[in-house]
Structure 1
């Protein structure tokens, strides 16, 4: 049996670090040794755990709210609360609802309830991010739900896998706000939320699938990274999200797992104005960057050298075609460039300092601009800088990178920091967006990636990892690059 190493009153030992978070919640006096799993999470809820917001990913990581569709390791859709689906015409999809599923409030999952949840999300203001720019109509027909899109969209099943489109009981939507307390379908029932400090979940014995092995989950929200690491070290937490690199060396190595993230640290070069309108100077910047020194120096070896925009979190990206026909580098000859980034991610200002030296060694003159993200995003998007360092998520809520690439590199892209407008790139991106899911789509995405890289408008430097901490007694916690899973029905304390 697992025993927490922290004795009664041990919260006092880390009180300063855990300021405002308190100790982990407990349902009774035996909570420390009854197999309940204590989790320290990085970000507190921002929207009262509404599934229509980014808080939905917490509900997913606790296995309390579920979706019609799930994703496998390569991002292909798999059955969830829907057992099967079919595309009946270019804009219409029909999903068969699983039988025998009960919500935590005792009501039954039906097509009508599922359709209500999706329709509520589609009409919400603001919409869930996964439906941004997407118009859908939802209708229940017998034991099926029909989803109709305004335009052809091959990603409808992937969209319905987003935690932001979790299916909750009808009672969740009463009272003007969506409440996941006691209204999910997962192996754990959310029974209590204490503001932005804690949450409690109990095993749901009526779960339709594989029953949970742990009796419950006790969650504390601990924004301070040092405090999270201390909670793992002292036994206050069994599972800890996002251990800071600076704290990893203070913990037992066998308690840490580095999970490759679908996030790439990229140097965007302004192709519309300034020195990097010259492809030869963009090539010179590419050749000047020593990726290994960034990984080993700034990230202390806890990152992966980038070979493309997409990294090891997407294993199929390793099948990318060999790069050919790269533009020849031109001598910078003292070309003056502004290099900008932001402070919100602690490593980026240090990355900027290292890059400044590397570019100057290659013959550029560099001026740095570093601000908080809220104060620099507008200037970056309007092309005020010659070069911009960004840590960018390469798959959005659908698990598909085509949307990110279109946003960042198409002529009409809404996040086109590089100001890139290239007919060949746009054609490749359009082909990727319209390709059917599976191998054909993945191949089209890699072709689009090659087209972007050929312009040197974006120079991928490294792929980030997240460090997850598990106490010695934790068995089968999820190590999920998409950060959708953490405690599953199989997770337990030994």
Structure 2
């Protein structure tokens, strides 16, 4: 699947001093130094692709965590279904499917092998999906979903407790990747040498690096590059510097502050379904009071944050769903709002993380705005791996998060449920509201199409009416690609990056 790319020119600023990260990509056994002309079997010129990524693994690259999206971006692990540009389901490891009430039957592709040489079968699909469905916590794509999986000859049947129109889209989530039996031998799930993609994950160096080699037995055809060398570089300035110094071929998530320092021809800006939101703790502390949540909403000046922090490379939010979903604006109506109350010096703590370089600056801007409104504000900024558990446990009065809104299923109903349902697994706001839950349940049960889109916007309105979340802006992906990189993906969903077609000249 090839997602369309939208290229938006970025203005270049005067050159700045370049950080030299000598040795950042050194040490690989195969460093991509070959300059051959190809072998006639899909290889381009023998060079390995060097990638600088933002977030290091949080769960040892377990596919049951957000690390699954790294496996997907490296084309190491695959799912039964993929999504096209509109979010509609397309065949991948499954060749097709049909629905009969609560049961969906998926045909499994023949001739597919895992990286350890074992064959993809209906039983291996059942094993992977059952492990995900019974995990604790579940992958968020299965929030509120009870399903059972069984083999039926060469097919697999998936049965849900309630009729679910989104089963194919759910199965496209990288967190439901299909892996070989070897991946499940321990207490944790290890994807090393266990995927089906064109690249095999061969080595993981903690949170510093990963190595992938071309898998010549790939069912979709031999990859053009012999492998991928990944370095995790959380610092945005250092990450952008790897492109300027020639040490990386692909740099994901270039910070806004660094984009102008790069050659504009090497930078691609892609609108994406990602919202920068201020989540307010509705269960404990000052923001248990709806009137104080309203006061916080009125104090936030998102336009000044877009101009000052993002240098205009973001869109002011009108709701939780942004311009990457163009139908949302046309359906949205003004939400009902609670009358605000004076903060009168109420003390609040706002948490966020520096992994996305702009967030600490956003936090500082919000601190000033909320203090001007009458709050006393303290900031707590820690790396995401060290702060996520506290955020989910409700340890903050407010939390700033850059959140993808259709990351998992291509449908925003799953994100809304995960973040705002009383039983949602990512409910940072600790929200428990009967009207919100009812609206979310309705959206989840509505068939795909215009009716579902309307019910999704109704659910968004129910959430906004609580002021449990204050959407501020919608981000854009800024990605840096060296001049010699060919056919790298620019994916607004952040699922694809290096594919079988990607290579370095």
Q: Give the TM-score normalised by structure 2.
A: 0.80
Distance 1:265 1:215, change over 3 A: same
- Structure 1 residues 128-137 or 183-192, which shifts more? 128-137
1:432-451 residue pairs with structure 2 within 5 A? 432-451=443-462
Quick check: 1:275–1:335 contact (8 Å CA) kept in 2? no
- Structure 1 residues 481-490 or 118-127, which shifts more? 118-127
Query: What does the per-residue CA deviation read over 1:304-361, in whole Å, with 9 as the maximum and x for residues that have no partner?
Result: 211110123434434333x34754966x667444443224135444334433444565
Query: How far apart in 2 are the matches of 1:474 and 1:28?
Result: 13
Equivalent of 2:181, from 170, 174, 187? 170
- Structure 1 residues 24-33 or 107-116, which shifts more? 24-33
Query: How far apart in 2 are the matches of 1:116 and 1:328?
Result: 48
- Structure 1 residues 477-486 or 396-405, which shifts more? 396-405
Q: Which has the larger radius of gyration?
A: 1
Secondary structure at the aligned position of 1:14 is classed as coil
Give the equivalent residue in structure 2 for 1:15. Answer: 22
Give the equivalent residue in structure 1 for 2:15. Answer: none
Query: How far apart in 2 are the matches of 1:432 and 1:302?
Result: 31
2:264 counterpart of 1:253: yes
2:263 counterpart of 1:230: no
1:177-256 residue pairs with structure 2 within 5 A? 178-209=189-220, 211-256=222-267
Query: What does the per-residue CA deviation read over 1:348-380, in whole Å, with 9 as the maximum and x for residues that have no partner?
Result: 44334433444565xx31210212466797588
- Structure 1 residues 372-381 or 213-222, which shifts more? 372-381
Secondary structure at the aligned position of 2:452 is classed as helix
1:221-370 residue pairs with structure 2 within 5 A? 221-268=232-279, 277=289, 285-321=296-332, 323-324=333-334, 327=337, 335-345=344-354, 346-359=357-370, 364-370=373-379
Deviation at 1:485, TM superposition (A): 0.7
Equivalent of 1:54, from 66, 78, 93? 66
Quick check: 2:335–2:461 contact (8 Å CA) kept in 1? no
Query: How far apart in 2 are the matches of 1:399 and 1:438?
Result: 13
Unaligned runs of 5+ in 1: 1-11
Deviation at 1:83, TM superposition (A): 1.3
Equivalent of 2:409, from 383, 392, 398? 398
Deviation at 1:435, TM superposition (A): 1.2
Quick check: 2:97–2:104 contact (8 Å CA) kept in 1? yes
1:61-210 residue pairs with structure 2 within 5 A? 61-90=73-102, 92-124=103-135, 127-131=138-142, 134-174=145-185, 178-209=189-220
Give the equivalent residue in structure 2 for 1:26. Answer: 30
Query: How far apart in 2 are the matches of 1:278 and 1:140?
Result: 50
Quick check: 1:341–1:371 contact (8 Å CA) kept in 2? yes
Quick check: 2:256–2:358 contact (8 Å CA) kept in 1? no
Quick check: 1:74–1:314 contact (8 Å CA) kept in 2? no
Q: Give the TM-score normalised by structure 1.
A: 0.82
Give the equivalent residue in structure 2 for 1:461. Answer: 472
Distance 1:225 1:348, change over 3 A: closer
